[in-house]
Structure 1
């Protein structure tokens, strides 16, 4: 039997497994909108998506992302979508995935990645493997934290000399977490030699530079997915 989906693109979504917001006693995790908007955009275009996280199973959801102020058509859809909720509850353990099986990788944000994915050796190796295999690496909001330790084939920071964006210092200040987070995304990208740019706080803004696609904040997540789909052809 002929497989009609031989040209179907496969994208790996990597979610945080970290749930503690520093020493505040509050919870964090991934931001629902930053998962849901790109997920449904790509899924509706026929992309096959696999969900993974460092620990596997249910990744923590940032409770603030469930508040009424932050609901969008994508989050409303997710809240009614038991099939996708089941997939989220059973993410694949990151150590069991290979870049060879996918055409691209996407990292949703939330504050969680600042603690685990930024330092996770499996994630770092995975990103470097995608990039060296000429496959797009995309991340939104706090998820560009993943580029803290990633290197290119010359051993330089992966983002060095590359146009990037991510959650800005002014946005972190606006949510009063500047002194809680382990590092600021904007400062880290700049320190790693990236050409960082941003738009107004909370405005949709995404940057593509070769294989790297980054978005500034939650409102930018679908824009990143649009750029990624175009890149995948």
Structure 2
């Protein structure tokens, strides 16, 4: 007997538009995926991984680095083995199929990080349907780093909202954000200054928009701590983490929320 099953909403994004043209190669972040899921499994939970296409997420190559594992190569190897070889990571479904089979069997939902969700999940109508279910049933909803951008999928017209962000049309984005189920929620996400560091030192390109601006345009109260330090915000059913260094704290608070909800 397990304590429950967690729905994991992954991304199929591998190329993100850059400001001024071109793309940035991205993916799902290793530690932001594996560490919370390994913690959930150790705590007695199962998980099902679903993506928009039903294909497995591609690992962001830049995330396979010791810096995200406190320079512990053994921890990185365990995470990499989990991402590559765990049966649950390789039996991937479509989000639509999970909705059609019934979401009531899931105890919570988790959105891993990496820049990938900016490409597809944040504007995916099926992801939006999942979010509306978990919000309406008050079941724990967790997201880390860029994962919180996925919460925007719950908007009535998430695709148009994303387009307005890219165009820099703040008035239109604000109008399209009205009625968002998370308006007024306190949450965190990869910060402006952390993103600037990534743009300058990793991508050498500018993103199409930053994450705090996007969430605030829809009505979130975004809170950030110091760059690259662990920081997690819990507001009602929503648990959000700021960056890769928040993986263990996010996992612990998600498990605590699941235990409380049970």
TM-score, normalised via structure 2 length: 0.79
Q: CA deviation at 1:149?
A: 4.1
CA contact (8 A) 2:124 2:153 kept: no
Q: CA deviation at 1:125?
A: 0.8
Q: CA deviation at 1:70?
A: 3.5
Query: Which of 216, 241, 248 is equivalent to 1:215?
Result: 241
Question: What residue in structure 2 maps to residue 102 of structure 1?
Answer: 106
Instruction: Tell me, yes or no, if structure 1 residue 113 matches structure 2 residue 117.
Output: yes
Question: What residue in structure 2 maps to residue 75 of structure 1?
Answer: 76
After superposing on structure 2, the runs of 4+ consecutive aligned residues of structure 1 that deviate more than 6 Å are none
Q: After superposition, where does 1:122-137 map in structure 2 within 5 Å?
A: 122-137=126-141
Question: What residue in structure 1 maps to residue 219 of structure 2?
Answer: 193
CA contact (8 A) 2:34 2:83 kept: no
Unaligned stretches of 5+ residues in structure 1: none
Structure showing the higher helix proportion among its residues: 2
Q: CA deviation at 1:88?
A: 2.3
Name the count of aligned residue pairs: 226
Query: Which of 176, 184, 193 is equivalent to 2:210?
Result: 184
Q: After superposition, where does 1:51-70 map in structure 2 within 5 Å?
A: 51-70=49-68
Question: What residue in structure 1 maps to residue 161 of structure 2?
Answer: none
Query: Which of 156, 167, 183 is equivalent to 2:179?
Result: 156
> Cα–Cα, structure 1 residues 81 and 110, in superposed 2: closer, same or farther, change >3 Å?
closer
Q: CA deviation at 1:142?
A: 0.4
Question: What residue in structure 1 maps to residue 13 of structure 2?
Answer: 18
Instruction: Tell me, yes or no, if structure 1 residue 45 matches structure 2 residue 46.
Output: no
Query: Which string of whole-angstrom CA distances, capped at 9 and with x for unpartnered residues, describes residues 7-31 of structure 1?
Result: 6121111111111132545421100
Query: Which of 184, 188, 193 is equivalent to 1:170?
Result: 193
Q: How far apart, in 1, do the equivalents of 2:58 and 2:84 lie?
A: 18
Q: How far apart, in 2, do the equivalents of 1:81 and 1:110 lie?
A: 17
TM-score, normalised via structure 1 length: 0.88
Unaligned stretches of 5+ residues in structure 2: 157-177
CA contact (8 A) 1:95 1:122 kept: yes
CA contact (8 A) 2:51 2:92 kept: yes
Q: How far apart, in 1, do the equivalents of 2:87 and 2:3 lie?
A: 23
Q: How far apart, in 1, do the equivalents of 2:36 and 2:222 lie?
A: 22
Over the aligned positions, Cα root-mean-square deviation in angstroms equals 2.2
Question: What residue in structure 2 maps to residue 146 of structure 1?
Answer: 150
